[in-house]
Amino acid sequence: MVDADGTTSAETAEALLEELIRASEQASPAELPEAVNRYVQAMGLGRVVVYLIDLQQRRLLPLDEGEEELEVDGSLAGWAYRTDSLRVAEDGAGGLLVWLPLVNAAERLGVLCFRIKALDGHTLWRCRVLASFLALIITSKRTYIDSFAQRTRTRPMQLNTEMLRAFLPPRSIGTGRVVSTAVVEPAYELGGDAFDHSFTEDILHATILDAMGHDLASGLTTSVAMAGCRNARRTGADLAQLVAAVDQALSRALPDQFCTGIFAQLHMPTGVLHWCNCGHPPPLLIRRHRLHQKALVRPPEPPLGLPASLSGDSRQVHETALEPGDQILLYTDGIVEARDEAGEQFGLERFADYIIRSTAAGQNASEVLRLLIHAILDQGKNELSDDATILMIEWQPPVAA
């Protein structure tokens, strides 16, 4: 409760926060906006609306269905989302609209809109704390509440895509040393493309997969490969053992199916990168805003899931040292083979140039890929001949004092 002088005591704030935590834990998706606004009003923060980003990152969809949807491109809310920064505007009634990004670590979930009378440093701090808290609550609840998935979809999803998306991790993960971010299209008709990234101790693990075909069997192939990868990773397997485990999982469960892929491990403190390429387009290295196209090209290994007589005894693992600011790109061929209306391919050089230009313009890694995948979709009027997936790793170790 706001005191007579317009402030809130520390004791009152703590009690209200405890009440919010308890109410948020117990609230259904329909009750969550009301529970949050009870806290917001009691703290003198006006009212707040939670907007979640849609699956293709084009629209911001309100958790409260009584509010209007907003376009990411061309709105103040979208600007806060795209730039991960605060935006403030007058609301036309003597108050303010305060837009804050809703972010969990490196993952962009959406934005918050506070409708508030005035803004000072302490009030803004409280708004930011609430944004961080809500990001954690939403991330936790969406693992078992389908309403969040429903709210972020704009059309029905194919069965094979539903199965494959159940395995996908968050679009972006990160620490103070590294960011890994990915996009995948078509969002609702995905066939056999997938990505994975996670952390163990001081290692970033990143994977990209492309199963042949565009049906339930291809989605199942990729799902088995991802399960084999995670199972090996979580038992402490090194990279060669991990790839062998994926081979074994596919050959046993789906002997008539195979897929291509790249498995990578980045030691975050030193920037040493290990990778194994199984029949996939080689990774790309961008260093100091230049594409070093051949830097990570090595003799390719056979695709995953082939019989031992074809795949060989063991997979070759490669190693290189990154420099601060380096970007590593893993991609499927649907990216460079995407065509515009005239039939011209997007191409590798255009693909890399787009990333270089966006990064040089100051876009963060997640926004770089959002803009890129939209450019690819827009040139072909949202029609792709094949799945298109990109995963980008950006290594930015802290600068030594």
Angle at 279 between CA 275 and CA 285, to 5 degrees: 45
Left (φ > 0), alpha (ψ -120 to 50) or beta: where does 282 sit?
A: beta
Q: Shortest CA distance to 288 belongs to which of 330, 323, 331?
A: 323
DSSP type of residue 339: B
Task: Tell me the helix, strand and coil percentages in the chain, rounded to 5.
Answer: 35, 25, 40
* Cβ contact 214:154 at 8 Å: no
- The amino acid at 358: S
The per-residue pLDDT for 309 is 45
The per-residue pLDDT for 4 is 47
Q: Shortest CA distance to 364 belongs to which of 174, 80, 135, 83?
A: 83
Sequence-ordered list of residues with C-beta below 8 angstroms from that of 401, at least 6 positions apart, any chain:
none
Rounded to an integer, what is the distance from CA 400 to the centroid of its chain? 29
**Contacts by 20-24 with C-beta closer than 8 Å and gap 24+?**
20/133, 21/133, 24/137
Query: What span, in angstroms and rounded, lies between the C-alpha atoms of 332 and 113?
Result: 37
| R_g of the chain, CA atoms, integer Å | 23
pLDDT in tens, the chain (401 residues): 545 445 566 677 778 778 888 888 888 888 888 888 888 888 888 899 999 999 999 999 999 878 899 999 999 999 999 999 999 999 888 899 999 999 998 999 999 999 999 999 989 998 999 999 999 999 999 989 999 999 999 999 999 899 999 999 999 999 989 999 999 999 999 889 999 999 999 999 999 999 987 788 899 999 999 999 999 999 999 999 999 999 999 999 998 898 999 999 999 999 999 999 999 999 999 999 999 989 999 988 899 987 654 555 678 999 999 999 999 999 999 898 888 777 888 888 899 999 999 999 999 999 999 999 999 998 876 778 789 999 999 999 987 64
If one counts every other C-beta atom within 10 angstroms of the C-beta of residue 81, the result is 30
